Structure 1
Amino acid sequence: MVCVLWATHPLSDRIQHPRFNKEKRMASLHLIHKAWVAIAITASATAMAQSLDKPFTVVAPEQIQWKDAGKGVKFAVISGDPSKPGPYVIRVIFPPGVMSAPHYHREDRYVTVMQGTWLAGTDDSWDPQTTQPLKQGSYMQHPAGAIHYDGGGTEGATVQIMGIGPSSTTFLFPQVGDFGEPRKLN
């Protein structure tokens, strides 16, 4: 009976009635909710489409372009550019018994031993007796600014290094060179 009475009231009375205003607000809120859902779906689809625009990077071993770093050490940039802002991946081959001189980097670096035994020293001594031998599959993080030296064990080593550029390397004893046969410096 109430519904019939409501419907029989003139439209001008119904518009000003509190029940009509509540219904109008609910309809508006429902419409706003639908608009937000549509915006969220559109934004998600756009973000997914943009991420799909980036191709996968695949580098086969025969595509790696190795460069000489001195004393038999070779390196290759696998992805990115260490001299520019952004992520990079490099690989380094250390021949047996050759190590980098004590140095540090401005950025954190993440190192995985891919082959052989990699000797890692965590001070400025360049003393091979104080290194930690890390076998294939081992991982080590070099914190930004941490002094270290590293290189190949008796069979040499290949490591993969990842970081966020721009990268820099500062050698503590430039007079001894970047790489060589380690000897206790201090």
Structure 2
Amino acid sequence: MIGLATAAFLTLSGSVPAFAQDAVVATLPQDIHFKGPDGAVGIAVLYGDPKKAEVFSERVRIPAGFKIMPHWHGETRTAVVLSGTFYYANGDQWDESKFKAYPPGSFLIEPAKISHYAMARDGEVVLQAMAVGPASTTRIEQAKK
């Protein structure tokens, strides 16, 4: 996984009803609904509640050209790129020369408190992310140019 966009991750993530552990739960693609303002990151919580101390899984849709400014999370997160090419780099300051391209199928692990930033440079990107909450995001102020 976003600064305004990352804040949206936390603000827009809602909880999903609890399910019995002995039942299979399936969500079809057409039943996944992203929340968020037009032109910004959309979040669909698939399982759990990011605001609670529990496992949660969410689908993240990043529109073409959208920049997720430097930030870090208080929890370790994993992500799989489902579609599009996800451009990602570590660091406190935005620097597109550090981006590495992650195509569909790529798996990323973001350790807690590691600063990073990302972009959907070539087109829309969809990720599936998972972590143990409560989720937190800290934005990193950028140096003035």
User: What is the TM-score with the length of structure 2 in the denominator?
Assistant: 0.79
Highest CA radius of gyration, 1 or 2?
Answer: 1
The change in CA–CA distance for 1:57 and 1:185 in structure 2 (over 3 A counts) is farther
Q: 1:106 to 1:53 in 2, by over 3 A?
A: closer
Indicate yes or no: 2:51 matched with 1:89: no
Which amino acid is the alignment partner of residue 121 of structure 1?
A
Could you list the runs of 4 or more consecutive aligned residues of structure 1 that deviate by over 4 angstroms after TM superposition? none
What is the aligned partner in structure 1 of residue 139 from structure 2? 171
Aligned to 1:106: 74
Pick aligned residue for 1:138 from 89, 106, 111: 106
For residues 185 and 122 of structure 1, the distance between their equivalents in structure 2, rounded to whole angstroms, comes to: 19
Give the letter for the 1:94 counterpart. Answer: I
Judge conservation of contact 1:95–1:156 (CA < 8 Å) in 2: yes
8 Å CA contact 2:34, 2:61 repeated in 1: no
Structure with bigger helix share is: 1
One-letter amino acid of the counterpart of residue 63, structure 1: D
State the TM-score, normalizing by the size of structure 1: 0.62
CA contact (8 A) 1:133 1:153 kept: no
State the Cα deviation string for residues 32-85 of structure 1 (Å, max 9, x = none): xxxxxxxxxxxxxxxxxxxx8532221111111210156432111011111111
* Gap change, CA 1:102 and 1:185, over 3 Å in 2: farther
Give the counterpart of 2:47 among 79, 84, 88: 79
Q: Write the letter of the residue equivalent to 1:81.
A: D
The gaps in structure 2 that reach 5 residues or longer are: 1-19
Is 2:122 the counterpart of 1:154?
A: yes
Task: Kindly indicate whether the alpha-carbon contact (under 8 Å) linking 1:121 and 1:131 is maintained by their aligned counterparts in 2.
Answer: yes
Contact 2:81/2:128, CA 8 A, preserved across alignment? yes
Change (3 A) 1:57 1:109: same
Gaps of 5+ in 1: 1-51, 177-183
Question: What is the root-mean-square deviation of aligned Cα atoms in Å?
Answer: 2.0
Is the alpha carbon distance of 1:185 and 1:87 closer, same or farther for their aligned partners in structure 2, counting shifts above 3 Å?
farther
Tell me if 1:115 matches 2:83: yes
SS of corresponding position for 1:57: coil
Which structure would you say has the larger RCO, counting Cα contacts within 8 Å and 6 or more residues apart? 2
Asked if the contact 2:86/2:120 (under 8 Å) is kept, the reply is yes
In the other structure, the counterpart of 2:22 is 54
Alignment partners' CA distance in 1, 2:144 and 2:128: 27
Distance 2:93 2:108 in 1: 19
Aligned length: 126
Secondary structure at the aligned position of 1:97 is classed as: coil
